[in-house]
Amino acid sequence: MLIAGLSLIAGMLGALVLPTNRSRIAFNLSAQFVACVCVLFCTIPILFGSASQQGYMTWSYPVERIDLSLDPLGSFFLTFSLPMTFLGSVYAVGYLEHDIKSTRHVGTHFALLTLVQFSYIIVYTVQNAFAFLVGWEFAAIGAWLLVIWYHRNQKIRFAGFNYLVSTHFSLLFLVAAVVIMHGATNSFQFSDFKEFLSTSSVARNITFVLLMTSFGLKSAFFPFHSWLPRAHSAAPAHVSALMSGVIHKAGLFGMFKVISLVQTPELWMGWYLIIVSCVSAFMGVLYTISQRDIKRLLGYSSTENVGIAGIGIGVGCLGLAMKYPSLVALGFGGAFLHIFNHALFKCLLFYGAGSIYRFTHSIDLEKLGGLHARMRWTTPLFLIGSFAGSALPPFNGFVSEFIIYCGLLQPVAELGMGRVVFLLVVALLALVGGLAALSAARSFGLIFLGVARDPSCVHPESKEHPLMIIPMVIHLVGILLIGIFPALGVYLVTQPTTLMLKLSSSPDAVLSEFVPMSLMNSLTFVSVILISVFALIMVVRFSVLPTCNRRHVTWGCGYTAPNSRMQYSGSSFSDPMVKIFGDLLRFITREELPVGVFPEDGKYETHCIDTVERKIFSLLAGVEKVADKAMRKLPEVSEFSFAIGLIALILLVCLVTLQ
């Protein structure tokens, strides 16, 4: 692990100081690859059952000692975080091709990607709150600078500022929780926090809420999500992929870490997580069906999927509270696997969105269309990623959600009326899955089927870049492996799940004892057969049968000159569902109506805006007005201002002295 850290530091320095962009990128990617190999060399044996690795390092006062631990929990997150970031860096070589050929110092971008990788090692291995906060801040600053890579655009700068403020609100809650725990234990070590967090008290409960709020902000749970779609829309595609699939998984890691320190959560903690996660999953998927920006759509989909993982975490918490190992195994096991599965298919989808943008110079669904004929690689890759995100078998998203379903359907008599709530959560998850499938059909149809809705999006010279396709294919392999061989996914998360099971009444239990593998394998087998039959029909139709002209004039309802405007638009496709949930969504309209006897073309557009974000901005505007009125009432006398400042200084000194 030390070699991995040193390799990443060397990669950062090389990306900054070498003379040309190509040499900077080559050296940086080599350093990232070495770091990935070293990390996997340490983490994979632990995921296969080897003992955790322990260590420590000394530091100056007041930290003094930083314990290090590579346990199954940290190993699980490190195993996919560094390799996926390396794949994102490879993708960046193709995505930033024009920047690389220009005079711009692209090495800075790759140095920031390496900084984020370095922060993973800190966050997932240190057992000291101070060092954890340092790694947390490294990741936040690195991600912010990556988001504003094209900073000359004012919208991108605003999105970056929005993200920076939101992530530091997360840091504020985290620091507040650390201050409470340090005050109670006089230590920054996680091992010392365990006694405080495992003992029921008002201070412990407040700390738990602060920590979950902080990690919820980091992971973009609703209603703490508003920074996410805006940042994803502004960032380069590979940065959006890594933020959604990798970087902000640190928030979910923090939730698992806190629960492992609490050891035996109270019932309200589990229900709290389930309720927040259900709202997040539902609202996230609801926003996806009304977006016209591909990357904003995928951003809201991330809010949906962290909500699904959060439901699993909540079920696991209830299992720990009631000493029910099947809930612990299925809840936490499903959550772990869904985190990994989401990283696979969401990175694939964002990479597909980036490929579409480089091909058409647009990510507006209402302008795209007909790309299936020209994007031979991206089309099937994006389709399979959409299937996986909709939890359809035989793809990986189905496996993890199936395990969470099994946890919710456990016959737990101790739940009482809570069983009714579990059934309602099952119904909600089914609705979320249906809406996700609707969103996938809408986005894929608008992008790849039909014809281009805007001629400006047609660029005959555009080609798919090989270095952008390779990472997508690798993610596809992961999606298919876990989807077709569910036991592989279950085995991958067995050790981190066992770590959580050791907190329950059955410390020797393992995840495979509770997962109905025979049923899952049967569903997967049937799905594979159906897909194979469909693929065979397509092969016969296009390859074996004699070629002939299959084009002919169809009945056009009286129209003899159809055009692209006669296709379904994104808003018309989702309009029936939007009308049902119209009270939860808010739209703005932009129109230029035809005028005169011989009018020019008019325009009518609808945009779904984020209600939470709009409320926040309205609140800030109101606060600004109140502050402005208060300032205007203050006399413009220097002595008065000096007196106010002196009083504030005296109060500050008194507070410090009392402390």
Average pLDDT for runs of 10 along the chain of length 659: 87 90 92 92 89 83 80 92 93 91 89 92 90 90 91 87 88 90 86 86 90 90 84 90 89 92 89 93 90 89 92 92 88 93 94 91 85 87 92 88 90 79 92 92 89 77 87 93 88 89 78 80 80 81 63 60 73 82 79 78 76 78 77 61 71 64
Position 636 scores a pLDDT of 58
Question: Shortest CA distance to 83 belongs to which of 47, 52, 38, 49?
Answer: 38
- Residues 246, 49, 265: CA angle, nearest 5 degrees: 65
SS3 sequence of 529-589 = HHHHHHHHHHHHHHHHCCCCCCCCCCCCCCCCCCCHHHCCCHHHHHHHHHHHCHHHCEEEE
Q: Which amino acid is at 310?
A: G
3-state helix, strand, coil in the chain (%, to 5): 75, 5, 25
Instruction: Judge if pTM exceeds 0.95.
Output: no
- CA separation, residue 554 to residues 120, 295, 425 (Å): 57, 35, 46
Position 162 scores a pLDDT of 87
Position 84 scores a pLDDT of 93
CA distance 227 to 617: 12
Contacts of 73 (CB under 8 A, 6+ apart): 124, 253, 256, 257, 260, 496, 499
The DSSP output letter for 293 is B
Position 241 scores a pLDDT of 92
Position 452 scores a pLDDT of 81
Radius of gyration of the chain (CA): 26
Position 428 scores a pLDDT of 93
CA distance 577 to 598: 36
Position 348 scores a pLDDT of 94
Contacts of 439 (CB under 8 A, 6+ apart): 285, 288, 289, 297, 301, 390, 574
Position 628 scores a pLDDT of 74
Position 477 scores a pLDDT of 93
CA distance 509 to 108: 48
Position 226 scores a pLDDT of 82
Position 258 scores a pLDDT of 92
- Residue whose entry in the numeric block shows the structure tokens 């399979």: 384
Peptide bond into 394 cis (omega under 30): yes
Position 225 scores a pLDDT of 82
- Residues 593, 597, 601: CA angle, nearest 5 degrees: 40
Helix/strand/coil for 393: coil
Position 279 scores a pLDDT of 93
Helix (H) and strand (E) counts for the chain?
25, 4
Residue 234 corresponds to which tokens in the numbers above? 């502004």
- Residue whose entry in the numeric block shows the structure tokens 């997508």: 472
The DSSP output letter for 58 is E
Position 57 scores a pLDDT of 83
